[in-house]
Amino acid sequence: MKAPSYRELKEVALKKGYQWLPFQLVNIRSVADKPNEFDDLLGIVDGTNVIWHTGTTNPGVHWLKNLLNPKGAAVLAEGQHLNAWVIGKHKGQYEALVQYAPLPVYRDGNKNDKSEQVGKPIYGQYGINIHRANPNAISKIIDKWSAGCQVRNNPKEHDEFMNLCKNSGVKYFSCILFNEKDFL
């Protein structure tokens, strides 16, 4: 997937009616949506700079087939999520952005290996965090690393991300979750 420029991101966001903030997250869900692959882009807008990392916005195959919720695995709805995360600890273990406000998720309950957005999204507190996968190496497959969270597969990129968040002066973090189709 080609990473959009600052100008392209802002143009698409404003066309969709989203607020454009000086510091925000801009994640892009891949059209390919390959099962268990980190094929999405996770971005940070800091002023007029955009920093891109690889990651996922989808649950891994493990959680698509072994449901934590009987209604299905959580798939975060695309759109703008304002003031939805704060700095905290993912599962009480390490620094990440943790869900602060209710978020819309689709429930994918068909137990196949493809993450799907079916039906109407429902709002709630689901622990949809923004965190990393393996702490010691770049992860190649999602599997258990995401049950619906947005996850970086490179621990060094996660550290860079958290440093940017901590130094941003922002308390409540916002994210626009785009679809790659928005830029084609």
30-86 pLDDT per residue, tens? 999 899 999 999 999 999 999 999 999 999 999 999 999 999 999 999 999 999 999
Mean pLDDT for 152-165 is 98
Residue 151 lies in a domain: yes
Predicted local distance difference test score (pLDDT) of residue 111: 96
Mean pLDDT for 103-110 is 97
Predicted local distance difference test score (pLDDT) of residue 99: 98
In whole numbers, what is the pLDDT of the chain averaged over residues? Answer: 97
Q: How far is CA 100 from CA 56, 75, 116, 121, 132, in A?
A: 20, 17, 24, 18, 18
Could you tell me which residues come within 8 angstroms of residue 73 by beta carbon, excluding any fewer than 6 positions away?
59, 63, 64, 67, 107, 108, 109, 115, 147, 148
Residue 152 lies in a domain: yes
Residue 26 lies in a domain: yes
Taking the model in full, what pTM does it have? 0.96
- The SS3 call for residue 70 is coil
- The SS3 call for residue 178 is strand
Residue 80 lies in a domain: yes
Predicted local distance difference test score (pLDDT) of residue 118: 85
Total domains, the chain: 1
Q: How far is CA 83 from CA 95, 119, 168, 170, in A?
A: 18, 25, 14, 10
- Can you list the positions of beta strands (E) in 21-147? 23-29, 40-46, 49-56, 73-76, 79-90, 94-99, 103-108, 122-124, 130-132
Residue 173 lies in a domain: yes
Task: Name the residue range of residue 119's domain.
Answer: 6-183
**DSSP-derived pairing of the beta strands 49-56 and 73-76:** unpaired
Cβ distance 88 to 165 under 8 Å?
no
Mean pLDDT for 10-32 is 97
pLDDT tens digits, one per residue of 125-153: 999 999 999 999 999 999 999 999 999 99
Predicted local distance difference test score (pLDDT) of residue 53: 98
Residue 1 lies in a domain: no
